[in-house]
């Protein structure tokens, strides 16, 4: 049993997740990434959890094919159950040796079924199909199947690309329909914005009066986004805050339990286990719970079960008693804890931000004087939360060798509402992972490699903010 907040198998990394709820338990299939040379094929592995706080690694669930099979790589898909209780697993089959007419490795929709409750899967290669005319054969992946009860048919969404048009704007969510889950007919696209390279890992669900479409944008940014509509046929509208998280949290797909909706994705690792390393494909599993606002938009934060699993208080002493007002009308002020925090903890801080304040927030893994730390910074004038560090990358011994003109850690910016008044920041830190949540609405995940330990602090710049509450908790077994 894995007691980490963020699941990662001992022998690899977590790629795209395919969540499925069964009898109150989440079955989290995932692409098992092994970083080796030569690179092995990709299988679907499985991890299960009942409470979102303990994860049991079940190992391989759907084995990838041989070096000559079409599914040497068994990539992302979905699982549904039919009226007879048979589970149908749809997945992307790919073999780098199997090239299509456009010279790219073919991507094919493949299927397996289970009659024993998903304990074993039987593949059905005879049901395999690829992209029809008008689509690129090398982008026909991530089949997401759902039942359209109003239409009385199954619908399959696919991450695809038109074969003509501007090279970087051919992305489309293609669509097939079926009456029996066995034979599929191509029909009009589900969504065709002509904006992106492609839209990975599509997911659609209904919640109350709204339908939601989730996709991971494969373009100039790598971000999971969502759209809203009153029916699965659209039109799809763009909420003001349309992203689930930032750059580090990717390819999330969803599952529902007891009227609640959870987003399962992976936090990318970085090359060289360093803050300045490039992001890598796959990483460590993370889960966010979506909360439906009164206008139908979604807020994202920690599940209550996860927060409640941290219940052992960690004493924290600041040089100011709470409520602690930090005032710096044209300067900077900070207060740092005496204690070095554990490697795994949950923190909640309530900041009352006064009008006109430029910045305030938390220092993480800070030095005693606060001059070296990670920074979770709220910027009311810019309406954003950013993750930063100080000092930034140093490449030499002169002032211009410091990347001081970079306003924050690139790709770790989140738009948010920071009106004057109280705002609550929540954090879960574990090893080299950090997830922050503002007001149970805006999530920001990242890696923190270079500073392995330190204190927590609170700061303000060019304004005033009052820390009215600060709590740090850990799990009793850590």
- Write out pLDDT tens, residues 358-378: 999 999 999 999 999 999 999
Looking at residue 221, what is its pLDDT?
80
Looking at residue 408, what is its pLDDT?
60
User: Cα 390 vs. chain centroid, distance in angstroms?
Assistant: 26
What percentage of the chain reaches a pLDDT higher than 90? 90
Looking at residue 407, what is its pLDDT?
54
pLDDT digits (tens, 9 = 90+) for 147-194: 999 999 999 999 999 999 999 999 999 999 999 999 999 999 999 999
Give the Cα separation of 439 and 143 in Å (integer): 34
Looking at residue 303, what is its pLDDT?
97
Calculate mean pLDDT across residues 85-113: 95
pLDDT at 68 over 80: yes
Looking at residue 218, what is its pLDDT?
84
pLDDT at 280 over 60: yes
Looking at residue 402, what is its pLDDT?
56
Calculate mean pLDDT across residues 102-110: 93
CB atoms within 10 A of CB 281: 16
Nearest to 423 by CA among 469, 460, 473, 363: 469
Question: Is 143:74 a contact under the CB 8 Å cutoff?
Answer: no
Calculate mean pLDDT across residues 307-323: 93
391 pLDDT band, cuts 50/70/90, is: confident
User: Structure tokens of 436?
Assistant: 């922050």
476 pLDDT band, cuts 50/70/90, is: confident
How confident is the prediction for the chain on average, in pLDDT?
94
3 state SS for the chain: CECCCCCCCCCCEEEEEEEEEECCEEEEEEEEECCCCCCCCCEEEEEEECCCCCEEEEEEEECCCCCCCCCCEEEEEEEEECCCCCEEEEEEEEEEEEECCCCCEEEEEEEEEECCCCCCCEECHHHCECCCCCEEEEEEEEEEEEEECCCCEEEEEEEEEECCCCHHHCEEEEEEEECCCCCCEEEEEEECCCCCCEEEEEEEEEECCEEEEEEEEECCCEEEEEEEECCCCCCCECCCCCECCCCCEEEEEEEEECCEEEEEEEEEEEHHHCCCCCEEEEEEEEEEEEEECCCCCEEEECCHHHHHCCCEECCCCCCCCCCEEEEEEEEEEEEECCCCCCCEEEEEEEEEECCCCCEEEEEEEECCCCCCEEEEEEECCCCEEEEEEECCCECCCCHHHECCCCCCCCCCEEECCCCCEEEEEEEEEECCEEEEEECCCEEEEEECCCCCCCEEEEEEEEEEEEEEEEEEEECCCC
Looking at residue 129, what is its pLDDT?
98
Looking at residue 4, what is its pLDDT?
86
User: Structure tokens of 391?
Assistant: 């000092």
Nearest to 445 by CA among 239, 215, 220, 286: 286
- Residues facing 175 on adjacent strands: 157, 187
pLDDT digits (tens, 9 = 90+) for 27-62: 999 999 999 999 999 999 999 999 999 999 999 999
């Amino acid at each position: 049993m894995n007691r980490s907040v963020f699941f990662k198998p001992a022998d690899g990394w977590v790629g795209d997740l395919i969540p499925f709820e069964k009898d109150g338990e989440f079955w989290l299939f995932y692409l098992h990434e092994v970083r080796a040379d030569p690179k092995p094929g990709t299988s679907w592995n499985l991890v299960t959890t009942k409470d979102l706080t303990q994860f049991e690694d079940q190992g391989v669930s759907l084995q990838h094919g041989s070096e000559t099979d079409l599914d040497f790589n068994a990539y992302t898909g979905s699982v549904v159950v039919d009226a007879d209780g048979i589970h149908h697993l749809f997945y992307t089959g790919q073999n780098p040796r199997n090239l299509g007419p456009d010279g790219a490795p073919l991507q094919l929709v493949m299927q397996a079924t289970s009659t024993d409750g998903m304990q074993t899967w039987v593949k059905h290669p005879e049901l395999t199909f690829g992209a029809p005319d008008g689509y690129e054969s090398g982008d026909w992946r991530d089949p997401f199947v759902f039942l359209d009860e109003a239409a009385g048919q199954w619908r399959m969404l696919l991450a695809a690309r038109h074969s003509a048009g501007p090279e970087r704007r051919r992305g489309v969510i293609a669509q097939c329909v079926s009456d029996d889950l066995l034979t599929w007919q191509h029909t009009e696209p589900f969504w065709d914005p002509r904006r992106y390279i492609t839209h990975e890992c599509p997911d659609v669900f209904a919640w109350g009066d709204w339908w939601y479409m989730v996709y991971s944008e494969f373009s100039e940014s790598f971000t999971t986004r969502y759209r809203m509509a009153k029916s699965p046929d659209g039109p799809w509208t763009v909420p003001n805050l349309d992203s689930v998280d930032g750059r580090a949290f990717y390819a999330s797909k969803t599952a529902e339990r007891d009227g609640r909706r959870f987003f399962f994705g992976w936090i990318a690792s970085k090359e060289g286990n360093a803050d300045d390393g490039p992001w890598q494909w796959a990483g460590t599993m993370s889960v966010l719970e979506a909360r439906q606002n009164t206008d139908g938009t979604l807020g994202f934060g920690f599940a209550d079960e996860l927060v409640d699993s941290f219940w052992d208080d960690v004493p924290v002493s600041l040089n100011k008693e709470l409520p602690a007002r930090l005032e710096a009308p044209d300067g900077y002020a900070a207060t740092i804890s005496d204690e070095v925090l554990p490697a795994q903890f949950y923190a909640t801080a309530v900041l009352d931000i006064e009008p006109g304040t430029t910045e305030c927030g938390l220092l993480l893994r800070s030095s005693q004087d606060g001059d070296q730390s990670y920074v979770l910074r709220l910027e009311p004038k810019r309406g954003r939360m950013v993750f930063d560090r100080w000092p930034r990358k140093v490449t030499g011994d002169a002032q211009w060798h410091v990347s001081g003109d970079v306003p924050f850690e690139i790709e770790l910016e989140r738009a948010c509402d920071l009106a004057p008044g109280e705002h609550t920041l929540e954090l879960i830190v574990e090893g080299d992972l950090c997830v922050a949540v503002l007001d149970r609405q805006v999530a920001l995940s990242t890696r923190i490699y270079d500073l392995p330990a330190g204190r927590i602090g609170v700061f303000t710049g060019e304004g005033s903010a009052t820390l009215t509450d600060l709590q740090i908790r850990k799990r009793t077994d850590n």
